[in-house]
Chains A and B, each alone.
Chain A
Amino acid sequence: MSPTTERITLAKAINLGMRRALEQDPKVMLMGEDIGKLGGVFRVTDGLQKDFGPDRVVDTPLAESGIVGTAIGLALRGYRPVCEIQFDGFIFPAFDQITTQLAKMHYRSRGRLQLPVVIRVPFGGGIGAVEHHSESPEVLFAHTAGLRVVSPATPGDAFTMIQEAIASPDPVLFFEPKGRYWDKAEVDLDAVGGGLDKARVARRGNDLTLVAHGPTVTTALKAAEAAAADGTSIEVIDLRSISPLDTATVAESVRRTGRCVVVHEAPVLYGTGGEVAARITEECFFHLEAPVLRVGGFHAPYPVARLEHEYLPSLDRVLDAVDRTLAV
């Protein structure tokens, strides 16, 4: 039988992935603000309440701490809740529940309690929004042991990774690149994935390794395309999981290329790029031809819409880092 494929947006891919999880497991529940009748601000849960009912696709009051807290309670009694946080900057009332309870209860109970909770967070900029609506707070969670922090970059990965996240016995912070919600691709609806554990080589190359996740994977691919025109062969790695980090895939690549640039929208300071750079330095020190460079957001609050493209890692800034790395 030939595989079923469909050309869909990243948002629709997540929707279909959740639909499949709801169909396959009666213990899966969706919770969030305006996710039911409205279908979510970005329409990611569109149509799910209509088909699975208001008891499984629950419109909650505006109460992030309450949403995540009750999801933990549900998970402790066998449910698999999937919470939607409306925007990245709205997650902080729930930060307490996530870092003090969700991340630690399995450890604290010495494995007697599992917490299969998924927290979906539309993150990143590029849509002309402002602070609280464009931020990339993924490392705040990556810094906490016990949480899995992942981000799909393509519709195909979005479809499989959301299902893997829901099936995971551990809590997963699922960061959705909202600027890519409307990107379309052919998605294999029979695919089973593997994205939660392993980084993806998005493009093969020999001269330099570009590491990205979520929204910047597309930027990295464009940079590789532009560099190819100049005769530079760039390998692009899509991390998929920020924590835990698949160091092996990145290290294998850097051992071949000798050069590495990490790109993300989150501020560079104390970010994913710093972690990747440290690990690469530890594992590939004698293969490195140049220091690992980072391209990302600045050490300033997320700016107004008009200036966000100065803040975000643009193609120019990525290529500039590529040039500087190659010049060493």
Chain B
Amino acid sequence: MSARPKTPRPPKSAAPCKDEDIALAFYRQMVLIRRFEERAARGYAEAKIGGYCHLNLGEEATVVGLMAALQPDDYVYASYRDHGYALARGISPERVMAELYGRTDGVSKGWGGSMHLFDVDARLMGGYGIVGGQVPLATGAALAVAHRGGAEAVLCQMGDGTTNIGAFHESLNLASLWDLPIVFVVSNNGLGMGTTVEGSSAEPDLFKRASAYRMASERVDGNDPVAVHAAALRALTHARSGKPFLLETVTERLKGHSVVDPAGYRTREQKAQLLAGDALSAYAARLTERAILTDDATREIDEAAMAAVDASVRFADASAHPATSTLFDYTYATAVPNDSRRLPGQPLFPAAARPGETMSEKAPA
């Protein structure tokens, strides 16, 4: 069961960006995500963040390019590596950091955590902790759009490892069979935890998997936000015409699978190579070369990102933890007769007529 030869990475793209403002906006967002994720790693080490924490470090270009291509009423489904998607979707760093901290002002009121960011207003329909959990759900959202004749599209982001799980194949088949307005995006960072794409996928050219479902597909340099943006626009136009699309963005994961993974499966050379080829630095160099980015602007952008991230940490720290008494709230949509609501040392917690209507703060007499 030897690994297949390594997939050729697509040629480094340097797609021309006609609009300097957009090019700079991409850079700003990439820096924000970079600084945010670095701070999240620190928050995890300080035990401010619980659970598991998967970072978008190295994937900023893909995240930014994809989110910029969406209309406000399009839907996003993401994997558990979802912080950057929330930020680039316009959700405030404060509410995202508060969620990572598990606080009540977080996007999911502190109950979702790093892997389950939700914001229905931003049409971010979740990060998902189960690999592939989001793929059929996103397909269903696209079915809903198609069913009522809406103009929105669904963007369903996933990692390379997801393409081997059954739900991926079931969903692509359904989407193609039913002509659904959905773009499946595979962020191929080369590794499913510690296993390479070539070691886990019989067809390591992941975008080619679409052909089994007569679906259009494309592979793009995921380290170039401009190229990703252009490809995502093409894919979304295709989707809006009622034809699903599979977009593979080839990118890199700078660190381990999660904050706690030291990535021992990478050699020292590989790690050095990764840092040397970092997409953020490369993009900055490109913008500088074209005089779009000056040294002053670089400093200003970095400082602004740091300030936003610092503010998000202060906000998160000041936000309250969920009360123990809310442990049963939202288990059911309405008060269910005979529901078992028990807490330590207390007999029963009655449900509010509708969840969240009155948070039960203390035990009944």
Q: B-contacting residues of A (Cβ < 8 Å)?
A: 33-34, 37-38, 41, 54-55, 58-66, 89-90, 92-93, 128-133, 269, 298-301, 303-307, 310-311, 314, 316-317, 320
Contacts and interface: CB of A to CB of B under 8 A. Distances in A.
* Chain A at the B interface: SS class: loop
A62 B327 contact: no
A62 B165 contact: yes
Contacts of B194: 34, 37-38
Given A63-B165, A93-B165, A298 B129 contact: no
B321 A299 contact: no
Contacts of A129: 50-52
B13 interface: no
B166 A298 contact: no
Contacts of B116: 130
Given A130-B52, A306-B322, A311-B327, A61 B265 contact: no
Contact of B130 (A58, A63, A89, A299): A89
B193 interface: yes
Nearest to A53: B1
Contact of A54 (B1, B193, B264, B322): B1
A61 B169 CA distance: 14
Given A61-B161, A61-B164, A303 B51 contact: no
Contacts of A34: 192-195
Contacts of B51: 128-130, 133, 304-305
A317 B50 contact: no
Given A55-B1, A128-B51, A304-B51, A63 B164 contact: yes
Contacts, number: 125
A311 B325 CA distance: 11
9 contacts: A38-B193, A38-B194, A59-B200, A128-B50, A130-B113, A298-B342, A299-B340, A299-B342, A310-B344
Contacts of B167: 93
A305 B102 contact: yes
Contact of A304 (B111, B166, B331): B111
A59 B195 contact: yes
Contacts of A41: 193
A62 B52 contact: no
Given A93-B167, A310-B324, A62 B200 contact: yes
A304 B113 contact: yes
A298 B193 contact: no
Nearest to B47: A128
Contacts of B345: 316-317, 320
A55 B201 CA distance: 17
B314 to A, nearest CB: 19
B52 A304 contact: no
Given A38-B265, A61-B201, 15 more contacts: A55-B1, A58-B1, A59-B199, A60-B200, A63-B166, A129-B50, A131-B129, A133-B51, A298-B340, A298-B343, A300-B331, A303-B327, A307-B322, A307-B324, A310-B344
B115 interface: yes
A154 to B, nearest CB: 26
